[in-house]
A and B are shown apart, each in its own frame.
Chain A
């Protein structure tokens, strides 16, 4: 059989986002895969050098469109570390609640994408509906459904409105009541097991060698989570588990995501119970004339896809000198995807890519 070069391009029903892969196939089997990013490259890091420290906040959240909240958090943490600003305690707990809600919403979006691609349409509709209920909560808190701009250096922008924590609890209960239905239709379905068992298998040594983080690593049995080893916000004050699985294939990754969603919901309930009173932000100097001293810092958080880091350099002026984001989809989408796709079938490309949660705007920035 001859070798043929196929273009699994951006306009394709199995592709979520604007990303493309060039496949060299022989019959139905893939011999070589080359990832082709760059369809969404805006040069963020160059644009951020032209705007002041405060003007960068509306820009930073647009890097990852599915879950913009962890980007705001990591930028605020880096600026606070360079400038030496403290955050009040109530703001830390509010930040944790807000980030965990974002994590649940982002996992529901991933569940829509994955079940739509596999063909389980009912679960896709339910997942998108439940994510919309969480976006309603964000709209009441910040005014926008998708881009929130809520975390800034020194705390959060405004306090929770009256009765907001009760609304969070009610919404999460109404989503939690449907978990047995999700289990019956999707997670315990023997068809789902057969279609994902053994697909895209990675061992623990390979994941560490190729730079895997997040669910890709936790599905191979290693309980590595930045919220436990280097806690930030209020994560060291409450107790929670890190779910893992053993096999490292697509089935394990999706089951880890399901377990993480349930764990996040329990974590939100614990955080709401322990929420202290107090101020929600410390004032920063005049944002038009704010200069930060020389220095560099590298901070990291655990976003819904893995370790998200930011390297920030300042030269004493009112604009950043160099900004570099380390996004989790960079290693997953460019190094691991090319290696795992060798020897797979064409019909499994979408399956493998979406089970690793590769989000295209994070790669290109």
Chain B
């Protein structure tokens, strides 16, 4: 590392350490799970970017939602997302979370994932290549530097709209609200 990089790292060492160790949670939600093993093994090697898979949501701060989301999976995704500690980042992988993708007329998949949990960025494709995941990670670093990767803050501020949408899609939810909802606001 040269002098400029050392100064830049020391100025904001929290952000520097945080950027280069995004730990992704090990949860395969849909079709896209087939491109995750090549990414984390030796040929494409995501560990040089700092991304490794971990076992529980409490240890993770990156959630890669790979593929389409059905109603039962949405329940599991929301519970996993709410257990992660802040700051946390979500990336939608594939064209199905963007607008429904190939199953746009299915009665069991949700069409826009943005209405239920906040998303930082999308990766298009069906299937995207492993290089696309790495480009997404570098874009996320730029966003963290500039301070625009704040989807988790939006979840806290607009929580009552998110909770209402989740109840419209899934019916009664078994877990209490994560943040207190002020009804007369």
- A interface residue numbers (CB < 8 A to B): 9-11, 13, 16-18, 38-43, 46-47, 50, 58-59, 62, 65-66, 109, 112, 124-125, 128-129, 131-132, 144-147, 361
- B interface residue numbers (CB < 8 A to A): 25-31, 33-35, 37-38, 41-43, 55, 57, 68, 70, 72-73, 76, 80, 102-103, 105-109, 126-127, 129
Are A41 and B76 closer than 8 Å at their CB atoms?
no
Considering the chains assembled together, what is the distance between the CA atoms of A42 and B104 in angstroms? 10
Are A11 and B102 closer than 8 Å at their CB atoms?
no
Distance in Å from the Cβ of B6 to the closest Cβ of chain A?
34
List chain B residues, Cβ under 8 A from A38.
Answer: 70, 72
Distance in Å from the Cβ of B133 to the closest Cβ of chain A?
13
Distance in Å from the Cβ of B170 to the closest Cβ of chain A?
14
List chain A residues, Cβ under 8 A from B38.
Answer: 128, 131-132
Distance in Å from the Cβ of A60 to the closest Cβ of chain B?
11
In this complex, the member of A65, A147, A361 whose beta carbon has the largest number of chain B beta carbons within 10 angstroms is: A65
Q: Are A16 and B35 CB-contacts (below 8 A) given A47-B103, A58-B102, A128-B41?
A: no
List chain B residues, Cβ under 8 A from A18.
Answer: 28-30, 33, 73
Are B73 and A39 closer than 8 Å at their CB atoms?
yes
Are A145 and B41 closer than 8 Å at their CB atoms?
no
Are B102 and A112 closer than 8 Å at their CB atoms?
no
Are A42 and B109 closer than 8 Å at their CB atoms?
yes
Are B70 and A39 closer than 8 Å at their CB atoms?
yes
Q: Nearest B residue to A133 by beta-carbon distance?
A: B43
Are A11 and B57 closer than 8 Å at their CB atoms?
yes
Are A112 and B26 closer than 8 Å at their CB atoms?
no
Q: Can you list 30 A-B pairs with a CB-CB distance of less than 8 A?
A: A10-B29, A10-B73, A11-B27, A11-B80, A13-B26, A17-B33, A38-B70, A38-B72, A39-B70, A41-B70, A41-B72, A41-B108, A42-B103, A43-B107, A46-B107, A62-B102, A65-B31, A65-B33, A65-B34, A66-B34, A109-B37, A125-B42, A128-B38, A129-B41, A129-B42, A132-B38, A132-B43, A144-B127, A145-B127, A146-B34
Q: Are A146 and B35 CB-contacts (below 8 A) given A42-B108, A59-B102?
A: yes
Distance in Å from the Cβ of B12 to the closest Cβ of chain A?
32
Are A16 and B126 closer than 8 Å at their CB atoms?
no
Considering the chains assembled together, what is the distance between the CA atoms of A330 and B52 in angstroms? 32
Distance in Å from the Cβ of B28 to the closest Cβ of chain A?
6
Are B76 and A40 closer than 8 Å at their CB atoms?
no
Q: Are A361 and B31 CB-contacts (below 8 A) given A11-B80, A58-B102?
A: yes
Considering the chains assembled together, what is the distance between the CA atoms of A10 and B106 in angstroms? 22
Distance in Å from the Cβ of A359 to the closest Cβ of chain B?
11
List chain B residues, Cβ under 8 A from A47.
Answer: 103, 105-106
Distance in Å from the Cβ of B172 to the closest Cβ of chain A?
18
Considering the chains assembled together, what is the distance between the CA atoms of A226 and B79 in angstroms? 44
Are A147 and B126 closer than 8 Å at their CB atoms?
yes
